[in-house]
Amino acid sequence: MVSQKSVRTNRCTMSRRTYHIRPAKFPDAVPIFMLIRSHPRELVGRSLSDIVQNVDRFFVAEREGKVVGTVSWQILPEIGAPKDPSIEIKSLAVEPGSRGIGIGRALVKQTIAHVRGFHPCRIILLTFYPRFFVPFGFRPVAKRSLMYKLYSGCINCSKYDSPFTCPEIAMALDLHPRHASVKRRRPAGV
């Protein structure tokens, strides 16, 4: 369970409209469910019970007392000791009436800051809008480099017959170059 105290919240009062990014709580589960469900083209649906069970892996944007945006994250599976721990950002949505004032960007920023605390090797995501994620340092990667994601999530997708025919772009933000310590050699005589 993510401690509420361990997560900084982000309050924006500088724009003409105020919003507040904070960790989700159980009462947010239904608004999160509705928000995700209202974006069937862009987002993979999530059941209410899935949201409730993973409520500690969601952030929400609140505006005038209402949940207007959400994002979540999950740790991707690995066998044995973590060699290449990766975290996926998913379920990012802002309601149409609250777009364009920085909420989407603030949700992603908050999530990256939070999951960095676990020291993952990389953060990944699948998106129709790669341009949105470039300013955070995400770069397109081959879907084949994310086979664990494909086997753990995409394999259950009912929208496309294969992840390789799905038009979503795979992106990654590398935080620790995997082979840096292996490749780096000591200069001769040191």
Ligand X SMILES: CC(C)(COP(=O)(O)OP(=O)(O)OC[C@H]1O[C@@H](n2cnc3c(N)ncnc32)[C@H](O)[C@@H]1OP(=O)(O)O)[C@@H](O)C(=O)NCCC(=O)NCCS
Q: Which two tokens stand for residue 18?
A: 């105020």
Strand partners, 59: 23, 71
Residues 11 to 50 in contact with ligand X, rule: CB under 6 A: 39, 42
CB of 181 to ligand X, least distance (A): 32
Nearer to ligand X, 119 or 139 (CB): 139
Tell me the number of residues near ligand X by CB under 6 A: 16
Say if residue 106 is exposed, middle or buried (CB neighbours under 10 Å; 0-12, 13-18, 19+).
buried
Determine which helix (DSSP H) or strand (DSSP E) holds 116, and give its type and residue range: helix 103-116
99 binds ligand X (CB under 6 A): yes
Binding flags for ligand X, 109-148, as an x/- string (CB under 6 A): ------------------x-x-xx----------------
Q: In what order do the strands lie in the sheet with 66-75?
A: 10-12, 19-23, 58-63, 66-75, 86-94, 122-127, 169-174, 139-140
Judged by CB under 6 A, the stretch of 22-30, 91-99, 110-118, 155-163 that binds ligand X is: 91-99
Q: Which residues bind ligand X (CB under 6 A)?
A: 39, 42, 92-94, 99-105, 127, 129, 131-132
